[in-house]
Chain A
């Protein structure tokens, strides 16, 4: 029996290419393409009065200049609203090039095509746009006040308004023996992959075919969107996703204005065109996330059990709503985490502002939801003088209550029903890993030395692997090599390795014989995309199902050839053989030959399948009515609903008594994503996620001024952490299989980032003794909070846990 690959820390097959400089990313392609660049709005809100391009026309090497006036038909209409929802009151989307108004700094207004990027940028600099500036609307407060509105024709800035309620939360809170209110605030951050967006288009006029390369998280989505806008049949558009230098959510948005303009121009010019985003463009004109204000009212009993929870959320969705309201829906549902909330009411308003659009960033609304819930848990503990872990434990859904129905509708339009999970076991693990029960002594000892240390804990549940579906195609070549394709794309998660591991086990072939293609509509046109931690769950399941189909066929054909019973056959190392008699067998490649009856022999191997070779059965056609030639299997996996991963983080911080610098001493993670396909890959995902969580909690924020200018649109000013800032992570796994899919797996891609803000806020709060309600928290903010606290401007935390240190000192 060959070793099982599933579950092994297999080295990634994609890496050799990537470490030798042979990766093929978007900007590594299309050496002969014209370069595109865009004139972008310098104003947050303005009317375009006039565009004067004459200054650019004598730039040597200029090819074309386009404005909205050059567009017609669907291209001149607004971009699609990708995910419609009945709660959307007024869903505005941008144009491919601004029509009359611009609504954020960075919005594309004019497209320039030139011989190379240097020339294109020169031309951009010489185009004069005359703007009538209008009032910017920056920040949630300004948007909610609605003294100024973002979009003409609207009376306020509310894009969407949704209420979900289970039971009568307000009545339950009113009747509860204890009641707390919290005001919470989280600022904007962004995915910031190292590779920005990029598009490269080739139009073949003779074949009337478009080949589009895009650094996207959805090949099939881009294909459909571009075909619709350019007035092409789906069959005329091929989308190929090359190596992608990270996505983290931002590249799921499609079609970007640039993603339409580049193929449109390539067709208009009959010449290849490419655009690779620069860093400033990515900061200002891609997408951000996270900004929310939350008001929480909670009622609970004296044991800390929730009786009623009422949450009001204001969500900043930026200038447009192309991705609908997925982010606030995720916040308002995933907020519940591993807990039973009693009665629950959640209401959100999604607000327009004159800033970059807001679309999912790894975690996609969960970090904010977890922040709300976990800050609430800590506040309850403080109020009752209880241990913070005990309050959580008192509210956990128990393993025997699974599947557990939260009574809400999730972001995939399906019921929010948790499939499996063991939260008490996770809590035990994390407490042990971080040394929760011994911490008071450590904190007291530290305080006696004049040091401030604190510990925090945060739990989350994450709906992963949402539908509607993904497909898998597996084919055995006559050489015995196996080709696997799935439609979803990859941005560095090692899908090629993980999917090959799965197919290797299903088929009984060595991994070295398997090649995997992702995100290529030529190989698998039916697909959805990579988001919501769905790669392994969806495509993993789909390729497993496809491989099972193929295997069934291979065994049937081999049984014929070996005159054996298919039931007695197994595939070992790429060879079909009789169980117990390995000498009686046939190579899978030979089975592939036999699967395709031939008239012509092309080589030695194919002779075996020709019409005068071997014993023929004259009573049936060479290919049976219910069969087809070739040794391949295609199947699709469509889940009933999402599968729910979970985890808990605990962190120990030390805050400098003088400078208020926040140092992470320990960062511990317990993570349950069901069955692990590849622990090496999953750990890498956790490490990367934690780094982004820490970054979002301590360093990263998008600093818009009141005029809507992004002040820190570079790596100099936006503090993305280097190796010197990211802590070491200690990880423990729990594997609670999902009953929903054939492999028992749950998604792992986003988990690491989700509780970051919540857990660090808890630890800083523990170290300082006053509530932390706004994230991120920088040393200077903490410094100011301390001063306010010292002057009595902030109340000390009630309850024993925060005072343990002083009480014992």
Chain B
């Protein structure tokens, strides 16, 4: 079948997609977007996390056909929609906090972290606490970092978003 959807603001089409094919496979193998990672294909590790119509999903658990006509955003598109800057605020915070080691879990965690900052600080709802951050990331496995620097990065990104929102509101 033919699947047409939007990835990172661009319309894309994949042909000859088999009905059992995952969105993750289509992104990685057919659309040249290998940023999202495959570490389990069972919806348990979050390495493949992407936005589907603004909601984070495990791309390995979404059939490619389900994405038809919808909007997908991957790690490759995190910094581009705003345009201009090299890195998105969450990416910048990961860099500063030392939240990356091997980087295999990172694309999924970035998307999931961006989602939390988007739901909280960026909406003027304040900086999430430690427990809330950990809970929100509790579908993403990382074997390298022990999560501490990742939690720190999310807090940093949220604090900056919070400051920006408050600054704007004043």
Q: What residues of A have a CB within 8 angstroms of the CB of B23 in the complex?
A: none
A15 touches B95 (CB 8 A): yes
Q: Which of A684-728 touch B at CB < 8 Å? A: 684, 687-692, 714-716, 720, 722-724, 726, 728
Q: What residues of B have a CB within 8 angstroms of the CB of A15 in the complex?
A: 94-95, 100, 103
Q: What residues of B have a CB within 8 angstroms of the CB of A724 in the complex?
A: 134-135, 137-138
Bound-state Cα–Cα, A17 to B11, Å: 25
B103 touches A245 (CB 8 A): yes
CB distance from A205 to the nearest CB of B (A): 26
Q: What residues of A have a CB within 8 angstroms of the CB of B38 in the complex?
A: 27, 276
Number of interface residues of A (CB under 8 A): 58
B147 touches A19 (CB 8 A): no
B98 touches A11 (CB 8 A): yes
Per-residue contact bits, chain B 6-27, to A (CB 8 Å; 1 contact, 0 not): 0000000000001011000000
With A20-B79, A687-B148, A714-B42 as contacts: A243 and B103 at CB distance below 8 Å: yes
A793 at the interface (CB under 8 A from B): no
Q: What residues of A have a CB within 8 angstroms of the CB of B78 in the complex?
A: 20
CB distance from B65 to the nearest CB of A (A): 15
Stretch in B105-113, B121-129, B161-169 with 4+ CB within 8 Å of A: B105-113
A21 touches B74 (CB 8 A): yes
B45 at the interface (CB under 8 A from A): yes
Stretch in A191-199, A443-451, A652-660 with 4+ CB within 8 Å of B: A191-199
A684 touches B145 (CB 8 A): yes
B56 at the interface (CB under 8 A from A): no
Q: Which of A372-419 touch B at CB < 8 Å? A: none
A271 at the interface (CB under 8 A from B): no
With A12-B100, A19-B87 as contacts: A194 and B33 at CB distance below 8 Å: no
Per-residue contact bits, chain B 151-167, to A (CB 8 Å; 1 contact, 0 not): 10000000000000000
A16 at the interface (CB under 8 A from B): yes
Number of interface residues of B (CB under 8 A): 57
B150 touches A723 (CB 8 A): yes
A500 at the interface (CB under 8 A from B): no
A244 at the interface (CB under 8 A from B): yes
B133 at the interface (CB under 8 A from A): yes
A728 touches B141 (CB 8 A): no
B20 touches A728 (CB 8 A): no
B102 touches A19 (CB 8 A): no
Q: What residues of B have a CB within 8 angstroms of the CB of A726 in the complex?
A: 146-148
A11 touches B138 (CB 8 A): no
CB distance from A589 to the nearest CB of B (A): 27
B103 touches A18 (CB 8 A): yes
A494 touches B95 (CB 8 A): no
Chain A residue nearest to B131 (CB atoms) is A724
Q: What residues of B have a CB within 8 angstroms of the CB of A23 in the complex?
A: 35, 103-104
Q: What residues of B have a CB within 8 angstroms of the CB of A692 in the complex?
A: 143, 146
A723 touches B138 (CB 8 A): yes
B141 touches A491 (CB 8 A): no
Q: What residues of B have a CB within 8 angstroms of the CB of A118 in the complex?
A: 18, 20-21
A20 touches B91 (CB 8 A): yes
B53 at the interface (CB under 8 A from A): no
Per-residue contact bits, chain A 85-120, to B (CB 8 Å; 1 contact, 0 not): 000000000000000000000000000000010100
A-B residue pairs in contact (CB < 8 Å), sample of 11: A19-B87, A21-B36, A21-B74, A23-B103, A28-B34, A118-B21, A246-B102, A683-B98, A688-B101, A715-B42, A724-B137
Seed contacts A16-B87, A19-B106, A687-B149; 15 additional CB < 8 Å A-B pairs: A19-B103, A20-B35, A20-B76, A25-B37, A28-B28, A193-B102, A194-B39, A194-B144, A279-B42, A683-B149, A684-B98, A684-B144, A687-B146, A720-B143, A723-B147
Q: Which 8 A-B pairs have the closest CB atoms?
A: A21-B35, A492-B102, A245-B104, A18-B103, A691-B146, A687-B146, A715-B44, A492-B101
